[in-house]
């Protein structure tokens, strides 16, 4: 068995053959233990009694056997009944369902994660469709807003400006020796909720939970990080319970140098780590990605992950509409980093289909707060430049205000085949907008992707009604089923969880030096290949959420093959990529323990 599969949640590494090292919360010294041929783990004598029960990576709760309870002094600390992990999952699921609010359920699951990681991931993995909306969007947004009040136990790292000179010392903690993947945020643009400051830590924690539940990443190798550079959220600054640095958000050169120090320290500590940038504001997200994407194995999920899932869903939608990629015209509400990231990947798909880049770029209509992005506008970011519409091309348009061309103007004049929302503007896809899309398209593609659900541009039920049941719908957050042809029809959740766990798994399994746009295109195509609509246009665009692990494997293999084709992998052959992916995957299971010094 591979090391990744051996340690059910222990922080470990090979040392001198069969010996391992672990680090447990509460002490920084390394403790050795051994693995026997029968997969029994020999734990050091120091891990005894209550101390063992308080280690979330080693705790088994009521699943400790009688022999283990005797060996580790657990009798009396646990009720006498010994149960297996399946019964524990059943008990925890029942308790989860008895709470009255989703925020209470969120807090319950976070507490379970900090108490018994193996049980937490068994529960999540077996009930991903029910628990995904709690662990991640939309409930994680409420969790971030309430983070200071919910905070109980440390998880991950808070790296703050006041302690910037200690970054290397903080990262050096042996608890994190085995780190392979880091998700980092500065908390400025949390979902569609804006600046949450230190509360933004809920996002890396949630993302990494999905890395494990969907992508099989060993939780002992996953590290969430919050770069605390202050907050401009006045509610946080005035809140006496706020746990972050009470300071206006640092910007400019001081911000950039802090990020640079973090990346340098991270690269020194873990030269081959995979770094995911998460929920950075528009003015930082793209430029940080561009600065570090070729020096660190990194990607920005809001830009590239969102682009890949949108591209995968749209490629799948072609099976329904019959309109080929090179004939698509795409309106995107939200011209920031996410919107431009979607446009960039879709433009690459158009080029793959035979268009030249200039013609492809003209098929995108990006609408921001100042209307359609047009040549000559002020305050245009570099990443928006490729998608500015020439004014000459709009000369014949009939608009209410030529100086601010609205989304509805775009739909009436450009007649887009697809409408994508990443604006975080609740209700921005009005009845007039959706009906105009339906007027110009037999099967309009409408993707309100903003999350949480409270920020969605329209509800699927409204889109279904306004389009007279003809729209192909993909939402960013979970919504109840709609009625279609007299029966319930599940709404496709075009969520990044279809993409990033597989991308991370593929990159880590193949030791990729960096993550390229080609790898994200491979991920999008792998997702589209799994579309139920390929076989039957009446079915969904995307696989069910219950298939996320299968999707992650397919995406990881595709990503690994693309990385190999680009010559940026190591320690893997073309024929060995699938094996590398599958053997890298961790599963939540208890292994038997033996105490060091005990007789066999």
Catalytic site positions: 136, 207
Measured CA to CA, the distance from residue 135 to residue 124 in angstroms comes to 9
The DSSP code sequence of 154-181 is: --SEEEEGGGGGGHHHHHT-GGGTT--E
Three-state DSSP class for 482? strand
Continuous segment of H or E residues that includes residue 317: helix 306-321
Using a 10 angstrom Cβ sphere, with 0-12 exposed, 13-18 middle and 19 or more buried, the burial of residue 474 is buried
CA angle 578, 579, 582 (to 5 degrees): 85
CB 489 within 8 A of CB 539: no
Distances (CA, A) of 444 to 106, 190, 215, 314: 36, 30, 32, 11
Decide if 171 contacts 130 (C-beta within 8 A): no
Q: By CB neighbour count within 10 A (0-12 exposed, 13-18 middle, 19+ buried), where does 234 fall?
A: exposed
Pick from 135, 44, 86, 110: which is nearest to 588 by CA? 86
For 446, the 3-state DSSP assignment is: strand
* Type and span of the H or E element at 224: strand 222-228
d(CA 210, CA 479): 19
Q: Are the C-beta atoms of 117 and 90 separated by less than 8 Å?
A: no
Residues near 49 by beta carbon (within 8 Å), at least 6 away in sequence: 72, 73, 74, 77
Q: Please list, in sequence order, all residues whose beta carbon lies within 8 angstroms of the beta carbon of residue 342, skipping any fewer than 6 positions away.
A: 306, 307, 310, 311, 332, 420, 422
Sign of CA dihedral 385, 387, 393, 394: negative
Give dist(CA 272, CA 178) in Å, integer.
11
Spatial separation of the C-alpha atoms in residues 474 and 18, rounded to whole Å: 49
* Cα–Cα distance, 289 to 166 (Å, whole number): 24
Task: Kindly calculate the radius of gyration of the chain based on its CA atoms and give it in whole angstroms.
Answer: 25
In 3D space, the residue among 205, 242, 162, 174 whose CA is nearest the CA of residue 25 turns out to be 174
Q: Residue 468 contacts by C-beta under 8 Å, 6 or more apart in sequence?
A: 438
Q: Quick check: bond before 382 cis, omega within 30?
A: no
Polymer length of the chain = 600
Q: Is 474 helix (H, G, I), strand (E, B) or coil?
A: strand
- And the tokens for 133? 């909306």
Local structure of 187: helix, strand or coil: coil
């Amino acid at each position: 068995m591979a090391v990744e599969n051996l340690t059910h949640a222990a922080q470990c590494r090979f040392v001198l053959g069969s010996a391992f090292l672990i680090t447990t919360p509460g002490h920084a010294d390394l403790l050795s233990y051994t693995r026997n041929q029968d997969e029994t783990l020999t734990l050091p004598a120091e891990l005894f009694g209550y101390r063992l029960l308080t280690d979330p990576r080693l705790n088994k709760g009521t699943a400790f056997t009688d022999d283990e309870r005797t060996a580790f002094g657990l009798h009396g600390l646990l009720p006498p009944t010994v149960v297996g992990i399946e019964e524990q999952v059943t008990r925890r699921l029942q308790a989860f369902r008895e709470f009255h609010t989703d925020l209470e359920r969120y807090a319950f699951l976070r507490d379970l994660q900090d108490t018994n990681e193996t049980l937490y991931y068994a529960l999540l993995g077996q009930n991903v469709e029910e628990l995904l909306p709690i662990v991640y969007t939309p409930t994680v947004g409420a969790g971030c807003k309430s983070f200071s009040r919910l905070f109980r136990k440390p998880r991950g790292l808070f790296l703050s400006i006041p302690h910037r000179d200690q970054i290397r010392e903080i990262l050096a903690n042996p608890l994190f020796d085995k780190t392979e993947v880091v998700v980092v945020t500065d908390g400025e643009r949390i979902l569609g909720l804006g600046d949450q400051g230190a509360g933004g830590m809920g996002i890396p924690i949630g993302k990494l939970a999905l890395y494990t539940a969907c992508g099989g990443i060993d939780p002992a190798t996953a590290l969430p990080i919050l770069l605390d550079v202050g907050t401009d959220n006045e509610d946080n600054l005035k809140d006496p319970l706020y746990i972050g640095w009470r300071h206006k958000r640092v910007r400019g050169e001081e911000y950039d140098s802090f990020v640079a120090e973090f990346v340098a320290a991270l690269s020194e500590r873990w030269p081959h780590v995979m770094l995911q940038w998460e929920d950075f504001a528009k003015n930082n997200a793209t430029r940080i990605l561009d600065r570090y994407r070729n020096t660190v194995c990194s990607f920005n999920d809001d830009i590239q992950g969102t682009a890949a899932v949108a591209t995968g869903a749209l490629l799948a939608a072609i099976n329904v509409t019959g309109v080929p990629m090179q004939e698509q015209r795409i309106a995107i509400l939200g011209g920031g980093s996410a919107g431009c990231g979607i446009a960039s990947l879709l433009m690459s798909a158009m080029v793959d289909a035979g268009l030249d880049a200039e013609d492809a770029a003209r098929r995108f209509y990006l609408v921001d707060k100042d209307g359609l992005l047009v040549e000559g506008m002020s305050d245009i970011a570099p990443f928006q430049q490729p998608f500015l519409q020439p004014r000459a091309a709009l000369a014949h348009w009939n608009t209410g205000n030529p100086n601010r061309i609205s989304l509805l103007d775009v739909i009436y004049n450009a007649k887009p085949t697809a409408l994508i929302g990443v604006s975080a503007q609740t209700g921005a896809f009005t009845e007039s907008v959706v009906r105009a899309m339906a007027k110009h398209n037999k099967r309009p593609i409408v993707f309100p992707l903003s999350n949480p659900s409270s920020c969605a541009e329209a509800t699927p039920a409204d889109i279904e009604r306004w389009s007279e049941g003809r729209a192909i719908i993909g939402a960013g957050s979970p919504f109840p089923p709609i009625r279609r042809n007299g029966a319930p029809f599940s709404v496709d959740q075009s969520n990044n969880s279809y993409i990033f766990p597989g991308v991370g798994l593929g990159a880590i399994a193949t030791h990729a030096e960096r993550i390229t746009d080609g790898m994200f295109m491979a991920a999008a195509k792998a997702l589209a290949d799994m579309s139920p609509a390929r076989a039957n246009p009446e079915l969904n665009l995307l696989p069910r959420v219950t298939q996320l692990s299968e999707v992650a494997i397919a995406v990881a293999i595709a990503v690994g093959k693309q990385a190999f084709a680009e010559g940026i992998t190591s320690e893997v052959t073309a024929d060995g990529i699938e094996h590398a992916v599958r053997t890298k995957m961790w599963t939540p299971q208890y292994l038997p323990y033996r105490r060091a010094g005990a007789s066999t």
